[in-house]
Each structure stands twice: as C-alpha cells, then as structure tokens.
Amino acid sequence: MDLTSLISKSGCECLNNADDHPLSNCLEPEDGFLLSDCDEQLIISLAFNQAVKIHSLKLKAPHDSGPKTLKLFINQPRTLDFDQADSVNPIQVVQLEKQHLDGELVNLRYVKFQNVTNLQIFVKDNQKETEQTRIDHLAVFGSPVSTTNMQEFKRVAGKKGEAH
C-alpha cells in the first residue's frame, strides 16, 4: 500500500530545498515538484503517524536532474545534517537508474525496514551532476505495523471517565 496517508506532514522536513519548491510538492503526484537550492544534495525526513514496514520507494524525476545515489536512514532522533548523512552508516544505499526515475519500484531490503517511525533520505548526487536535483513525485510503499492508532480511537459505550 502507498503509505502517503500515514505520513505526518507536520513532522516532515527537507534540508536544502528551494523556497518555492518544498517537500510537500513531491508527496502528492499533481502538486508540483521538490527542487534543491544551492547544490544537488537534499535531506528528506519523513515522519509516520504510526510504525510502518517499508518494502519499496517510487520516484518520478527528470533523467538529467533526478536523484542518483540515495542513502536511507531510519528512526533517527532528529534530522541528520549533511556531515552526518555523509559519515554515518546508512541502513541501505540505493543507486537509481533511469527506469527508477520513470516510476519503476525501487525495492528495499524489507527485513531492515520493519518498525519504521521516520525515514530519512539523503540525496547525495543526481544523474548528470547538474546544479540542482528535482523530484516530481516520491511515494513510500509498505504496510502499517498492526498497532492501535490512539488518534483514531473511538469510544464504544459509556461516558468519558465512567468505570465499568
């Protein structure tokens, strides 16, 4: 399933994006695009409103300025900076080919992405080493870990504070 509905937009962040092309543009397919600002690197931090299992990513991006090398990190206490993203060992490194930029699924090592509350994607470079990296659409696929989302909890019977 597409996990976009489980992304907590208020907990998401993107470092080095152009002001007029923010992260939210690439999370919905028709909203525009995400564009890096002063160089090709981006750090995308996606927070989920419940624990999820992730098995693949799907991207749409131009063949020249689309991302090439992605370093993936999970469950970080805060958003990594660029020095950390370059030096810390990622959970997986993905090399994107042209077909991946056309929407072909990028399969991940499913066993490594079992209880994910946040996913950070470091875009290290792009396909043709252009000045800016562009992502038209980014989707994360997987399934929720079976937990109760207390925000969706509804009282069945009785009144609040009433004991049975």
CATH second-level architecture of 3-146? Sandwich (2.60)
Which of these, 118, 133, 102, 139, lies nearest to 27 by C-alpha position?
A: 139
Q: How many CA atoms lie within 13 A of 53 on its CB side?
A: 10
pLDDT at position 59, please? 96
pLDDT at position 40, please? 96
pLDDT below 70 — which residues of the chain?
147-164
pTM of the model: 0.87
In the chain, what are the domain boundaries? 3-146
